Structure 1
Amino acid sequence: MIDYNKVADNDLVMLLNNSDKDAYAEIYQRFKGILFIHAYRLLREKEEAKDVVQEIFARLWTKREQLNLTVSLSSYLYAAVRNKIFDLIARKKVETEYISSLQTFISQGDMITDQLVREKELRAIIEGEIAALPPKMREVFELSRKGNLTHRQIAEKLGLSEKTVKKQVNNALKMLRLKLGVFTYLIYFL
């Protein structure tokens, strides 16, 4: 019968390689407290420090047969704890950045969506007001603004003078400004 608390660390590792549960239990008893203190100093959070130590020991058991240490057992365990904490910190940083990015998107997304809805409403109101213009004025205005035709091109197309076309466009703009001025205020400022 082996007295495990008198066995050297190197020998415990060899026993662990052969799936000796008592050797594993001795390693756990020897190092759990000091590894917890090490983890706690780095994390300043008891539960996270406990979790890190538990994960290190769980991995030690699952990798026991492949374990081939080139350093002392204590150095290996300290490095494992440190690396696990670095991974944890990096993951927290990524999570924090993701959450921040998501919050920014949500807050800006609401504004963008709200703005798009307002623009759509305003466009519908403008189209309604254009449709309410007198027929000839509407036709001239639509050729000017939607068809991007010059006053001369509209005059030639409709058989009107350029002066009449210019007057029709200006009158249409005046009427739309009067009617849409209140709507524009209501949509954008309420």
Structure 2
Amino acid sequence: MHPYHLCSDRELALLLTKGNEQAFTEVYNRFYGLLFIHASKRLNDDEEAKDVVHQLFESLWLKRAQIDPDGNLSAYLYTAVRNRVLDVFAHQKVENKYVDSLQHFMDQDHVRTDHRVRERQMAALIEQEIDALPPKMREIFILSRKANKTHREISEELGLSELTVKTQVKNALRILRSRLGAVVYIAFILKIHQ
């Protein structure tokens, strides 16, 4: 077999359906950059775009047996990225709608005592999860979310780059979202933005 980088998309697709890992690597190398740019332009968020493209390739490998070797591989990948980008937008819309309704609920005057108890329990749970973050991430997150410092202020205070600070805050939020679940996480986000 000649080198994989000389294979046509059609040949790679056929090899992929047979579970050929080198063919998958070649597809990844050939299309990752283009798909990332495509997703990034639409999402205006490089981290989100990376997630979308990585998930796409993960799905491509898991569903490799279902690929049509006679189909257009690049068109298939671009369509898949577009659909995932649309999913991100749809999810954000649902999340925003949910946040709005939760905010409305929290704004209502008749907040009962049992709600205050639940709120205290929720606050304790959130604090517990923040304490469980890696030390540097926890320090950055507390400065950002509780001391309301900007990424620039934190980077100057701790001698780190702004990008590092931004990444650490984003990773902390991702960890908290996965550990706390959507409802508690959204309530937490609402609280820190009040």
1:94: which partner in 2?
94
Query: Within the alignment, does 1:41 sit opposite 2:41 as a pair?
Result: yes
Higher relative contact order (CA 8 A, sep 6+): 2
Deviation for aligned residue 1:112? 2.4
1:112: which partner in 2?
110
Q: Secondary structure at the match of 2:61?
A: helix
* TM-score, normalization by structure 2: 0.56
Deviations 1:85-115 (A, max 9, x none): 101110110001101110111111xx1247x
1:18: which partner in 2?
18
Q: Secondary structure at the match of 1:112?
A: coil
In the alignment, structure 2 segments of 5+ residues that lack a partner are 113-194
In the alignment, structure 1 segments of 5+ residues that lack a partner are 115-190
5 Å-filtered alignment, 1:1-190, equals: 1-68=1-68, 71-108=71-108, 111-113=109-111
- In structure 2, C-alpha distance between the alignment counterparts of 1:113 and 1:38, rounded to whole Å: 46
Deviation for aligned residue 1:66? 1.6
Moved over 6 A (4+): none
Q: Secondary structure at the match of 1:26?
A: helix
Asked which structure has the greater CA Rg, the reply is 1
- Alignment: residue pair count: 112
Counterpart of 2:31, as a letter, is: F
Deviation for aligned residue 1:70? 6.0
* TM-score, normalization by structure 1: 0.57
Instruction: Report the RMSD for the aligned CA atoms in angstroms.
Output: 1.3
